[in-house]
Structure formats: structure tokens, C-alpha cells
């Protein structure tokens, strides 16, 4: 299996622009998670899905952030408009079942100037 796939790996954008991060979970996994990693706040869970349905979005920082999972093999995290404080590494992870171990993708390093 190819593992969790994320794109792009690096994104540099200007403040105010829309940014879309993409994730393909491991085939057959029914949970998908979005995390953000920064020096100041460490690793934070933003949102997670079960069977394509958002279960907990309490970690989403504000309305500028939105996430969708239109099907079992694809999810997006969108930031509109982006701000410099959104600069971080965004990880996607997936797992099989409620007890399953989470497998992390390579991450997207976002820089907002």
C-alpha cells in the first residue's frame, strides 16, 4: 500500500489567498484525521471524519478553515483567506476502526507570507 498521500508537499502563498490541502487515506480505512503542527502549539487535531462524516471539528481554529470528505478516498482542508499565522505543517492520518492505529501522511508544509 502507498500509505497516506498528501499534496502538495510544500505550499507558499500570500496572505489573503485561498489554500487547499489534499489527502488520500489508506484504502479501506474509515477514519481520517487532520492535524496541524507548529513550534508554539505542537501537534493539534483539527477535525476528524468517520465514514466520510465529520465527527469532531472542535479543533478547527476559526471559520476560515473548512474540511470536506466527498468520498472514502479523498479529503480536503481549505483555508480562505489565509494568514501568516496559518503557516505550519499539516498532517493527514487515517485508521481502520475505532481502535485502529493512525497512520500519518508526509505532511504539507504551508508558508503564508
Site residues (vs another protein, CB under 8 A): 31, 33, 42-45, 48, 50, 55-56, 91, 95, 98-99, 101-107
CB of 4 to another protein, least distance (A): 9
CB of 26 to another protein, least distance (A): 13
Closer residue to another protein in complex, CB, 47/79: 47
Q: Is residue 46 within 8 Å of residue 35, measured between CB atoms?
A: yes
Report how far apart, in Å, the C-alpha atoms of 98 and of each of 23, 32, 101 are. Answer: 20, 11, 9
Question: What is the Cα–Cα distance from 49 to 94, expressed in whole angstroms?
Answer: 9
Amino acid at each position: 500500500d502507498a500509505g497516506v498521500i498528501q499534496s502538495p508537499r510544500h505550499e507558499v502563498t500570500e496572505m489573503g489567498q485561498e489554500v487547499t490541502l489534499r489527502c488520500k487515506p489508506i484504502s479501506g480505512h474509515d477514519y481520517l484525521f487532520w492535524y496541524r503542527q507548529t513550534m508554539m502549539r505542537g501537534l493539534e487535531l483539527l477535525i476528524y471524519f468517520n465514514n466520510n462524516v465529520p465527527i469532531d471539528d472542535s479543533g478547527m481554529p476559526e471559520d476560515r478553515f473548512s474540511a470536506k470528505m466527498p468520498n472514502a478516498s479523498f479529503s480536503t482542508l481549505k483555508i480562505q483567506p489565509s494568514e501568516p499565522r496559518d503557516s505550519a505543517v499539516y498532517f493527514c492520518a487515517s485508521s481502520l476502526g475505532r481502535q485502529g492505529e493512525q497512520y500519518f501522511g508526509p505532511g504539507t508544509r504551508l508558508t503564508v507570507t
